[in-house]
Amino acid sequence: MPDIKIAYGSAFDLTITLASLASDTNLLDGRESAAIDNTTDKFLDYLISGKITTGTGPTASRSIQIWAVASFDGTSWPDVFDGTDSAELISLANVKNSSVCRLVDELSTTATSNEDYYFAGVSIARLFGSVPPKFVLFVTHNTGVALNATAGNHVIRVQPVYRTV
């Protein structure tokens, strides 16, 4: 019987511009990442982890949401998504809360300025049943202030996962 083990590809930081991302009361206005394309490497999973830093003077008991959005055919994207690092305003709350977007994590925030919020090890395959050919992440928040303005204070790390014999 072969010895099958889990293995990890080279982790990388996702291209997504979160510095100074404005707050949105409705959690529909946010930032889309560049697409993660799994059509060549065909990894079995991707683990998503990261750190997002609030700005100065946030409101307590609010949240930062990280969503995954899959291309439905490897080329076309639902609603306003397009596979590029760009600002997006989702058309309706039920679009985000339907099967189009899958919640990666929701980080509860405090009123502490410039606070780091971490999330780790979220499986994309678990969210969708298997890894989609292409997907993006979408970040939105309602902290009442823009996120920290320093780009280096935000990172989303992507860790590919596969099996080896």
Distances (CA, A) of 108 to 30, 58, 102, 147: 17, 12, 18, 14
Give yes or no for residue 99 having a pLDDT over 80: no
Q: What is the pTM of this model?
A: 0.95
CATH number where 152 lies: 2.60.120
For 10, the domain range is: 5-164
Phi, psi of 95 (to 5 degrees): -70, -45
**36-81 pLDDT, tens per residue?**
999 999 999 999 999 999 999 999 999 999 999 999 888 899 999 9
DSSP for the chain?
A: ----EEEE---EE-----TTPPP-TTS-EEEEPPPEE-TTT--SEEEEEEEEE--SSPPSS-EEEEEEEE-SSSS--STT--SSSEEEE-S-HHHHHSTTEEEEEEEE--S-TT-EEEEEEEEHHHHHSS--SEEEEEEEE-SSSPPPS-GGG-EEEEEEEEEE-
Number of domains in the chain: 1
Rounded CA-CA distance 33/16 in Å is 4
What local confidence, expressed as pLDDT, does residue 161 receive?
A: 98
Percent of the chain with pLDDT over 90: 89
Residue 54's nearest CA partner among 106, 107, 119, 113 is 113
